[in-house]
Amino acid sequence: MLIGIVGKPSTGKSTFFMAATSVPVERSPRPFTTIKPNRAVAYVEVECVDKEFNKQCNPRSGFCVNARRFVPVELLDVAGLVPGAHEGKGLGNKFLDDLRQADVLVHIVDASGSTNEMGEKVPVGSYDPCNDVRFLEQELDYWIKGILDNNWGKLVREAKLSKKNEDMLTTQFSGLGMTKDVIVKVLKESKLEDKNLADWTEEERLGVCKKIRHIGKPIIIAANKCDLSTGWDNYQKLKKTFPEYVVIACSAEAEITLKGAAKANFIDYIPGDRTFTIKAELNPEQKKAMDIMKLVCDKYDGTGVQKCLNAAVFDFLHYIAIFPGGGNLIDSQGRLLPDCFLMPQTTRAIDFAFKLHSDIGNGFIKAIDYKTKQAVGKEHLLHHRDVIEIVFKKP
Ligand SMILES: Nc1nc2c(ncn2[C@@H]2O[C@H](COP(=O)(O)OP(=O)(O)OP(=O)(O)O)[C@@H](O)[C@H]2O)c(=O)[nH]1
Ligand SMILES: [Mg+2]
């Protein structure tokens, strides 16, 4: 699972990245601070199944606190995108190629309205962040169109060899993680299944790219810097203006502060908590900082960083978490429930077997639902938080 962080410069992409991964990266109010992409592990939260067995799990990767299991995902922070990037403005949009494999994008919007469309500092509240939503969609559309345009001549020649549109475009966009099903759907909706590529208009090409972006690079919005004075109003405005979007209020700076305070043992705080408790004597300055954090958490139900990642993976992509249930839940090194896999919603027992190992998939005999002890077949659809053992014939 790869989550891409996108947006214009200075909205707090790298701050969000650092808040989620704890990996220190360069960040500053100067536009284009990030040039080379940052990639690291973040986590999404799953209600662990260990409590159902009255045990404490021991994850191989990630961690688990009080049956709150944090499962690794990858996060990618790229350079800022400005209007006209597809024509080479700012850093252009070539760096978006880093996002080719992203399953979902988090658009970091500066909800405080303190950066203009180029990411330059302006007085708080003087810029309307709603402007950024459509511009980002447009730049992504043109990025995808650029990929198509670069190969258009070749595709038109191949079309003459009576290759099918769906096959040519599937090959063309496989690098963006598109499946044939998606391409067939896009062509059908556009009524371009059988139209000779040589006769496609510019608009038809762009229309297809828009649909591909919509399906293949779905976006959720993080209304960041909500700790600043105009954050609340702009967060409400974003939700109202874009009802088709998931919009989550977020303060990446607050998350960094809280994680830092928890590491220093000043507070009890686990990412995703709605609030925190102070457990040490604080000096007046620290106390003031924590008072501000409390206000932010109370107003927005937490800092929103963990909420964004969870929402992207579970509420939006509808992924499910599956725990392998073999060996009485214990691996060869004695770890209980060592793994937890994030899988698409329509995962069958056989898909999960192949995810574990191709030998397990090829030798599949049956799957056992560890919670109910029932045997199920290859086609059985798995559910969120299932614990599944695969019985297979060894090669
Ligand atoms: N008040 C507040 N400031 C924030 C928040 N998140 C980021 N900032 C500030 O916004 C500025 C830009 O942050 P970056 O993380 O460098 O922004 P970026 O989007 O990565 O910028 P580029 O790499 O230039 O595209 C920094 O001064 C951050 O401290 C937040 O949640 N609240
Ligand atoms: Mg950055």
**pLDDT per residue over 223-279, tens digit each?**
999 999 999 999 999 999 999 999 999 999 999 999 999 999 999 999 999 999 999
CA proximity to 70, closest of 287, 273, 324: 273
Distance (angstroms) between ligand 1 centre and the Cα of 195 equals: 46
Closest CA to 126 of 233, 32, 251, 224: 233
CATH superfamily of 325-392: Beta-grasp domain (3.10.20.30)
CA-nearest residue for atom 24, ligand 1, is 32
CA of 137 to the centre of ligand 2 (A): 19
Atom of ligand 1 at shortest range from CA of 11: 19
**Closest alpha carbon to 222 in 117, 300, 116:** 300
Q: What is the mean pLDDT of the chain?
A: 94
Q: Residue 116: what pLDDT?
A: 97
121: CA distance to ligand 2 center in Å? 15
d(CA 9, CA 161): 45
47, 48, 158, 173 from 57: Cα distances, Å: 12, 8, 54, 40
Summarize pLDDT for 97-145 with one digit per residue, the tens: 888 889 999 999 999 999 999 999 999 999 999 999 999 999 999 999 9
C-alpha–C-alpha distance, residues 274 and 297, integer Å: 6
Residue nearest to atom 10 of ligand 1 (CA): 12
Residue 187 Cα to ligand 1 midpoint, Å, equals: 39
Average pLDDT over residues 365-381: 96
Ligand nearest to the CA of 32: 1
Q: Give the integer Cα–Cα distance in Å for 16 and 143.
A: 24
Q: What is the atom index within ligand 1 of the atom nearest the CA of 35?
A: 23
To the nearest whole percent, how much of the chain has pLDDT over 90? Answer: 86
Pocket of ligand 1 (CB under 6 A): 7, 9-15, 27-29, 31-34, 79-80, 224-225, 227-228, 251-253
Classified as helix, coil or strand, 27 is coil
Could you identify the residue written with the tokens 């556009």?
Answer: 190
Q: Is the pLDDT of residue 147 over 80?
A: yes
Is residue 318 within 8 A of residue 345, CB to CB? The reply is yes
Alpha helix stretches (DSSP H) within the chain: 13-21, 131-150, 152-160, 165-173, 180-189, 202-216, 231-241, 252-263, 284-300, 305-310, 349-356, 358-362
Report long-range pairs for 115-118 (Cβ below 8 Å, ≥24 apart): 115/8, 115/9, 115/10, 115/11, 117/8, 117/82, 117/83, 118/8, 118/9, 118/31, 118/82, 118/90
- Where, residue-wise, is CATH 3.40.50.300 in the chain? 1-37+78-165+210-317
C-alpha angle 339-218-94 in degrees, rounded to nearest 5: 100
CB atoms under 10 Å from CB of 121, counted, come to: 12
pLDDT of 328 higher than 90: no
Q: Which of 8, 27, 132 to mutate to test the pocket of ligand 1 (most atoms within 8 A of CB)?
A: 27
Joined tokens for residue 204: 């038809």
- Find out whether 130 and 238 touch, Cβ atoms under 8 Å: yes
For residue 162, pLDDT over 80 is answered with no
Confidence of residue 340 (pLDDT cuts 50, 70, 90): very high
Across 348-352, average pLDDT: 98
What pLDDT, in 10s, does the model give residues 49-107? 999 999 999 999 999 999 999 999 999 999 999 988 888 888 887 788 888 889 999 99
Q: Is 387 helix (H, G, I), strand (E, B) or coil?
A: strand
Flag the least confident range among 262-271, 321-330, 359-368. 321-330
Sign of the CA dihedral 149, 151, 155, 156?
A: positive
Among 8, 11, 15, 132, name the best residue to mutate to test ligand 1's pocket (greatest count of ligand atoms within 8 A of Cβ).
15
Q: How far apart are CA 119 and CA 82, in angstroms?
A: 8
Instruction: For 186-211, write each residue's pLDDT tens digit.
Output: 999 999 999 989 899 999 999 999 99
Domain(s) labelled CATH 3.10.20.30 in the chain stretch across 325-392
The reply to whether CATH 3.10.20.440 applies to domain 1-37+78-165+210-317 is no
Q: What is the pLDDT of residue 343?
A: 97
Indicate which atom in ligand 1 lies nearest the CA of residue 7. Answer: 19
Cα–Cα distance between 378 and 389 in angstroms, integer?
12
Q: Give the pLDDT band (50/70/90) at residue 386.
A: very high
The atom of ligand 1 lying closest to the CA of 224 is: 31
Contact 390, 352 (CB under 8 A): yes
Question: How much distance in Å is there from the Cα of 35 to the middle of ligand 1?
Answer: 14
Taking the CA of 19 as reference, the closest ligand is 1
Atom of ligand 1 nearest to the CA of 255: 31
Looking at residue 93, its pLDDT comes to 79
**How far apart, in whole angstroms, are the C-alpha atoms of residue 181 and residue 215?**
11
Residue nearest to atom 9 of ligand 1 (CA): 12
- The CA 285 to ligand 1 mean position distance, Å, reads 22
Q: Separation of 309 CA from ligand 1 center, angstroms?
A: 18
For ligand 2, the distance from its centroid to the CA atom of residue 109, given in whole angstroms, is: 13
Q: Among 10, 35, 105, 115, name the best residue to mutate to test ligand 1's pocket (greatest count of ligand atoms within 8 A of Cβ).
A: 10
pLDDT of residue 313: 97
Neighbours of 80 (CB within 10 A): 25
Starting from the CA of residue 85, give the closest ligand: 1
Instruction: Tell whether the model's pLDDT for residue 327 goes beyond 90.
Output: no
pLDDT value of residue 252: 98
Question: What is d(CA 248, CA 307) in angstroms, rounded to the nearest whole number?
Answer: 8
